[in-house]
Amino acid sequence: MKYEWRKQEKDLYLPKEKPTLVTVPKQNFFMIKGKGNPNSEDFSERVGVLYSLAYAIRMMPKQGYTPDGYYEYTVYPLEGLWDLTEKGRESDVLLKDELVYTIMIRQPDFVNEEVVQRAFDHVRKKKPHPLLDEVSFESMEDGLAVQMMHIGSYDNESRTFKIMKEFIEENKLEITSLVHREIYISDPRKTDKSKLKTVLRYRVHHREE
């Protein structure tokens, strides 16, 4: 049976349109850092190299190599960690050119360093990419977090963040980092802006009374 994150991990990837408290376990990712406007060609290239590696692993059995513990699965969605430069933080409006980000695609638990190396070798040989050497394979654990599904344009996320911050305040929680996480459930190339689904997430901890 194919492992589908939309069904097996609904609590992490398909939250409701209201804030919920979750505990996010350690997960492994292909990651690449960047700076600037996400509507740029550079951002698209960074997304592209991540997908090249993700699909290299997904298709390994068809290329004649089956990693230990491999199972059929749906490739995980693109995610991003978003921050701003000092200049960006000082501005009253969002300056997209001042965004600092890490975008990433989660990998299944069977993926280890050997599998990662094979994926890099495959992409290097079949579809060399100038940004390949900037990609890292790392683990990340959000732990306690507040998340919510945002429906609509990325430019309207502030209203969802406002609802989340009110929930955090009411539940005696505190945001632990200004860096927030986004999970892109919809493909922006195929989905109307008003229907885009994006999971927004803040890491939090319980406030000390």
pLDDT above 90 (res 175): yes
* Total of domains in the chain: 1
CA 53 to CA 45: how far, in whole Å? 13
Residue 209: what pLDDT? 67
- Residues paired with residue 145 on neighbouring β-strands, in sequence order: 22, 203
Average pLDDT, the chain: 96
**Distances in whole angstroms, Cα of residue 48 to Cα of each of 121, 134, 204:** 16, 13, 31
Q: How would residue 189 be classed by pLDDT, with cut points 50, 70 and 90?
A: confident
Residue 178: what pLDDT? 85
CA 199 to CA 191: how far, in whole Å? 15
Kindly give the residue spans of alpha helices, DSSP state H, lying in 79-112.
86-90
* pTM of the complete model: 0.95
- The pLDDT tens digits of the residues spanning 105-153 come to 999 999 999 999 999 999 999 988 999 999 999 999 999 999 999 999 9
Other C-beta atoms closer than 10 Å to the C-beta of 191 total 13
Q: What is the CATH number of the domain that holds 34?
A: 3.20.80.10
Residue 180: what pLDDT? 96
Minimal CA–CA distance to 185: which of 77, 111, 43, 92?
Answer: 77
Q: Which domain holds residue 120?
A: 5-206
CA 181 to CA 63: how far, in whole Å? 34
Residue 162: what pLDDT? 97
**Distances in whole angstroms, Cα of residue 203 to Cα of each of 106, 135, 180:** 18, 24, 7
